[in-house]
Amino acid sequence: MADKFDVIVIGAGPGGYVAAIRAAQLGLKTACVEKWVGKDGTVVNGGTCLNVGCIPSKALLEASHKFVEAKHDFADLGIEAGDVTMDVKKMMARKDRIVKNLTGGIAGLFKANGVTSIAGTGKVIASKQVEVTDKDGKATTYDADNIVIAAGSVPVEIPPAPLTEDIIVDSTGALKFQEAPKRLGVIGAGVIGLELGSVWSRLGSDVTVLEAMDSFLPIVDSAIAKETQKLLKKQGLDIKLGARVTGSEVKGKEVVVKYTDSDGDQEMTFDKLIVCVGRRPYTQGVVADGVGVGLDERGFIHVDDQCRTSVPGIYAIGDCVRGQMLAHKASEEGIMVADIIAGHKAEMNYDAIPCVIYTFPEVAWVGMTEQDAKAKGIEVKTGSFPFAASGRAMANNATEGQAKIIADAETDRILGVHIVGQHAGEMIAQGVIALEFGSSAEDLALTCYAHPTMSEAVHEAALAVEGHAIHMANRKKRK
């Protein structure tokens, strides 16, 4: 029998490693189990987010956006850059360096906080026992008073487009291209599909996005979604809605994709095809039969609002439980669970979790959309402000998009904040804080914002809720 711990965390992704660090900070003897190992046999922390998700994709998005700016926008600023080219292999090498630095940094944080890192595949075999199987097949059992399952998720695969080694790939494969494919197909117009499609479109690929749903970004406020679709189309992404993929066939170094839309059966040929139709929880085999942890029909672990499973002392967080699959949601759940285990009061406001799509311009939102409010029978009032009227946006050469605030018509309490524009992912924090503290639109309207900033658009949107915007003509004059 190996050492006994106060807490064992299964998974070192953004939920797991944060939970482990927090638990150790609170004086709990903590271990974190991770099955991902590098070529040298050492544990690779960070999960999907740091290794093949959030971080590497943002490195490619930033590099490709700077390339587009240098190629097409610098001249307007008075900068003559000449013949600008992109070395994709160097871009990929930089992405890999960033990933290595961050994943290595987690190992340093574990050491600094006293977290024991265990390499291997973790499995809950009893209410207070975790079995860890290393890469050589050796199994070791550890006792723990508390277990946190943070196993994450994996990309969904679909029968009409089975993955191949290099032609039909998932999001992980799309981060490894060594050159921009001439014709790129993307199945799915969600966050991942739009981000990866944007990267390769900027680098010269003819990108077609096939989306089975008839509406674009239905989880986003309809006005923001409509503007986003228009902007992405302007950038060259051909987004086909209501296009359901029915089959694919690899022929040599290209793939023929068959789909149906309102006009009937169609087909297109691509050099590469990225399948981005969502992710599913990675829970199969993580908990032994008979332990008593409940799962739903999709594989999500049943938990309450504080991430407790049906078995006392066993918690589950992140992508393997209900809610949006977001790294920051997983991290906050990890902190909450560690605090609860340590005997502190802790809770999460699931109504104030921000979402961001890192296209350019970025799309960010928190709280309700207008359609959400309507479905709940809530009467709302809204205020919007275009970045075209922002002095800082003009100076930044980033006048596309808008900020929008949705407030309760009776109480003025802010229900949702939605932004499409440069740095929207940074600005949305204002909306998160507003929702967290139950702010009214008037609260933001009475707040002093620095000038000139992109954030002033949020201020003006708050003013516009009551028809008091200063730097644009108000749709409706109010007292």
DSSP string for 228-279 = HHHHHHHTT-EEEET-EEEEEEEETTEEEEEEEETTEEEEEEESEEEE-S-E
CA distance 303 to 295: 9
User: Is residue 189 a known part of a binding site?
Assistant: yes
82 labelled ligand-binding: no
Backbone phi, psi, residue 110, to 5°:
-60, -45
Candidates 354, 375, 372, 374; CA nearest to 364 is: 354
Task: Say if CB 124 and CB 288 are below 8 A apart.
Answer: yes
Annotated ligand binding at 311? The verdict is no
φ, ψ of residue 50 to 5 degrees: the values are -80, -30
192 is in an annotated binding site: yes
Cα–Cα distance for residue pair 176/163, rounded to 1 Å: 15
The one-character DSSP state at 152 is -
211 labeled part of a ligand binding site = yes
Here the tokens at position 468 are 């008091």
Residues 416-431 as b/e (b if ≥16 CB within 10 A, e otherwise) read bbbbbbbbbbebbebb
Whether residue 319 is annotated as binding a ligand: the answer is yes
278 known member of a binding site: yes
CA 92/CA 99 separation, integer angstroms: 11
Active site residue 418: no
CA distance 412 to 443: 9
- Annotated catalytic residue within 423, 451, 468, 471: 451
Give the C-alpha separation, 337 to 315, whole Å: 7
370 annotated to bind ligand: no
Q: Which token pair is 286?
A: 């993580």
- Residue 405 assigned ligand-binding role: no
Q: Which phi-psi region, left, alpha or beta, contains residue 211 (left: φ > 0; alpha: ψ -120 to 50)?
A: beta
Residue with tokens 């311009």: 361
Whose structure tokens read 């994943």? 103
- Cα separations (Å) of 99 from 88, 104, 191? 17, 8, 21
Which region holds residue 307: left if phi is over 0, alpha if psi is between -120 and 50, else beta? left
122 annotated among ligand-binding-site residues: yes
Contacts of 285 (CB under 8 A, 6+ apart): 123
Residues 6+ apart with CB under 8 A from 399: 386, 387, 388, 390, 393
Is 435 marked within a binding site?
A: no
Interacting residues of 476 by C-beta distance below 8 A, sequence separation 6+: 467
No. of H helices and E strands in the chain?
Answer: 13, 22
Asked if residue 188 belongs to a known ligand binding site, the reply is yes
- d(CA 372, CA 417) in angstroms, rounded, equals 13
Peptide bond into 218 cis (omega under 30): no
Binding residues for FAD: 58, 122, 319, 325-328
Enzyme catalytic residues: 451
Residues annotated within the binding site are 58, 122, 188-195, 211, 278, 319, 325-328
